[in-house]
Structures are given as structure tokens and as C-alpha cells.
Amino acid sequence: MTVLDAPELPKAASTHQPARRWRSLAVRTVLPPLGAFAVGVGLWQLVIVVFGVPGYMLPSPATMASTITDEFGTLGEPTWVTLRESVLGFVIAAFVGVLSALVMARWRLMERSLYPYLILLQTVPIVAVAPLFVVWLGPGIATNTLVASMIALFPVAANTLQGLKSVDRNLVQLYTMAGAPPRVQLLFLRLPGALPAILTGLRVAAGASVIGAIVGEFVAGVGGGAGGLGYVITESAVQLRTPQLFLAVIGASVVSLLLFGVVVLVEKYLLGKWHESVLPTDE
């Protein structure tokens, strides 16, 4: 008579499994961009060595590193000016864009009346009309904020309107059968359903507002620490101070990434528990 081996009991889940999962996620998230950065710096240096590019045209990575160390403090005030203009322009564009989309979604006549002008606003060359803003408002933060909001307005309004009009028709009919008036459908059905589209527009507007602020500073910026990064870029280009120009461009990119990161955090908070675009995926 043989004795059968007892079935092996399942092992308890290791307490270290969540920590391993987070480490694996960090490796997958951090290592690819770091590797791409290292390859990019290597190609940068290779181009300079192979083609003998002079420093005033393209500074080397070593020159840029020393410039960042030496000039980092001098860009604090211009970066703050550009950040303030970008944030103000972004907030104005977000408020006006969402509000105008709600009005156009509620009344079709308002959509036919306003939407062509939104398209026209998107097609107007801002560099050409920015001098008019200087005449009307004077140089400085007011003009730069207005330019930033103009460039960032269309993505917010267009994406919000598209999201409001893309809600499931069955849900709209259900609300209608329940006797919900149009304003209730708009605020409690269409607006929550349009959140992914709204946040997509805000992500685009985050970068567009920084571009608008820089463009405004090209035309309407002033010196003396109040000109922002656009003024620094213009001044560095005229004086052939290429490393400082690159550093100012990096500063503008950092400002854009900060705004973009804030929108992404808001998106994760609002959509993280229910929308497919934010839910974690298994690779």
C-alpha cells in the first residue's frame, strides 16, 4: 500500500512582491529615457568632432554643462516671468475655452456663430498681430499673457466641444425620457463624459501657452529681468552667445513640462479609477 503525497499548499504571497513590482515599473519608466538621453548626447558630441562644428554654432555637451553651472542662477527671474505669463495664459484659455464650448454645445446657433471665429483665431499669425497688442496694452506681461491665451484657446475649445458632442446617444435618450432638461444633461451627463477630451485639450494648451508667452516676449518683452526667456533667447542670439541661448531654450522646455505635468496629475486624479486611457496596463 502506497501513501500518496499530500497536495502542496499554495504559498502565501510574498510581502516583497509589491516592492519588486514598483522597482520593475521604475526601471521600465526611467531607463528608456535615460538611455535615449545618453545616445543623444553621444551623437551630439560625435557630430561636433566629425564635422568640426564651431562652438558658436553648436556648443559641446561639456560646454553646456559648464554653462548650466555658471549661468543657472541668472535665469531664475526670466524663467519665473515666463512661467507666470504661461500659467495666466493657460488659465484664461482653459476657462474661456471650456465656457465657450459649453455655450456652443447648449445652443447650436451659438456654435454656428462662434466656431468660425475660433478657427479664424487659430489661423491668425500671432507674430504679425502681437505688435498691435503692444500698441494697445504696452510691452510686458499683459501682452505676453494675451498672446499665450490666444494660442492655447483653440485646443481647449475644440476638444471640449468634440467631447461634449460625443456622448453616447443612448444615455442622452435615457436622460430625455427621464425628463431631464437640456442644462441638466449638459452639466451632469455631457460634461463628465467629455472629461477625457477636455484634458486632452488642456495637455495641448499647456505647451501652447508657453510657446505663446515666448512669442510674445520676442515682440513685447522688456529687459532688466522682466523680459522672460524669450527676451533672453533674442539677446543671446544677437550676441552669438549660443550656450546661453540653448540654456534659455531648456528653461522654456522645463516650464512647458511643469505645466504638462500638472495637467497629467489632474488627469490621473479625475480619470484614474475609471477611464481606459489612465488605467494601468499589463505589458
**Predicted local confidence at residue 217, as pLDDT:** 86
Judge whether 264 lies within some domain. Answer: yes
Judge whether 37 lies within some domain. Answer: no
Judge whether 16 lies within some domain. Answer: no
Range of the domain at 248: 64-271
**Predicted local confidence at residue 45, as pLDDT:** 86
Place of cell 551630439: 44
Dihedral of CA atoms 224, 226, 228, 231 in degrees, nearest 10, equals -40
In 3D, which of 193, 122, 184, 188 has the Cα closest to residue 162?
A: 193
Judge whether 277 lies within some domain. Answer: no
pLDDT in tens, the chain (283 residues): 455 555 555 554 455 566 677 667 667 777 788 888 888 888 988 988 888 888 878 888 888 888 888 777 788 888 898 999 999 999 999 999 999 999 998 888 988 998 888 888 888 888 778 888 888 887 778 888 999 999 999 999 999 999 988 887 788 788 888 877 888 888 888 888 889 999 999 999 999 999 989 988 887 765 444 678 888 888 888 888 888 888 888 889 999 999 999 999 998 888 877 666 555 555 4
Q: Are 197 and 163 in contact (CB under 8 A)?
A: yes
Please tell me the total count of domains within the chain.
1
pTM for this one? 0.81
**Predicted local confidence at residue 96, as pLDDT:** 95
Judge whether 243 lies within some domain. Answer: yes
Q: How far apart are CA 250 and CA 246, in angstroms?
A: 6
Q: How far apart are CA 209 and CA 154, in angstroms?
A: 11
Reported residue count of the chain is 283
Chain CA centroid to CA 184, Å: 31
Judge whether 104 lies within some domain. Answer: yes
CATH of the domain at 112: 1.10.3720.10
Judge whether 203 lies within some domain. Answer: yes
Phi, psi at residue 107, to the nearest 5°? -125, 115
Judge whether 6 lies within some domain. Answer: no
**Predicted local confidence at residue 224, as pLDDT:** 44
**From the CB of residue 137, how many other CB atoms can be counted at a distance below 10 Å?**
15
